[in-house]
Amino acid sequence: MSVAVALAGAGALLLPLARAGPLLVDVGTTVSPGLGPLLGEPVVRAALAATWVAAAAVATTAALRAGQRQVAADVLVLGLLGAVVPPLAAFALWFGGWHGLRHCARLLLDDQRCASWVAAGDPARAVRVLAGRAAWPTLAATAVLAALLAGSVRAADPSRALATTLLLLLALTVPHMLVVLWSDHRARHPGRLSRSAR
């Protein structure tokens, strides 16, 4: 079930890849020689779309049976986004509108002071504090991303430049995943980690 939910949540990635595969052949080949031709294969693109549809059906059915209409609605909206909106825009909207916002919400609960304000019914205060802390890192990350994208657009070989940018962003995914894993582990086992820190 968790695999189905994860795949269903990736609708803004799998569906754009299925739709825009041929446009990404050069970029994919630069990232990895075998990836580009694979993205251009109609069978692979159809498999990506079919995988998402099957996962979305399982996740939506399970969510409705559990009375979680918001989860079902999220899956359907993500599918619509990935199927209709231009591929890069679909991914950007998913990343900022779902993935990023949910991580920000998790940060509110990871910080003890912010979590206490949320529990006390003052989430606005917690959001203001988190936004203040995140302002400079956000500006720095936005400036770096803008520079990378501007360099890709102006490069003599945009496909190669975009591939390099994607590799840099993918390299950030591993430490990001490790931090989230550590945060989840800490939330599940707070006593164990506090004892080990002594």
Query: Residue 140 is encoded by which pair of tokens?
Result: 């720095």
Nearest to 11 by CA among 50, 39, 38: 50
Per residue of the chain (198 residues), what is the pLDDT tens digit?
Answer: 566 667 676 777 788 888 887 777 777 777 778 887 888 888 988 998 898 888 888 888 888 998 989 888 988 888 888 888 888 788 788 887 788 888 888 878 878 888 888 888 888 999 998 889 889 988 998 898 888 878 877 888 877 777 777 777 777 778 877 887 887 777 777 655 444 444
What is the phi/psi pair of residue 98, to 5°? -115, -65
Which residues, at least 6 apart from 52, have a Cβ–Cβ distance to it below 8 Å? 7, 8, 10, 11, 14, 15, 18, 79, 82
Is 111 strand, coil or helix?
A: coil
Note whether 56 and 82 are within 8 A (CB). Answer: no
State the pTM of this model. 0.67
Parse the chain into domains and list their residue ranges: 1-86, 111-190
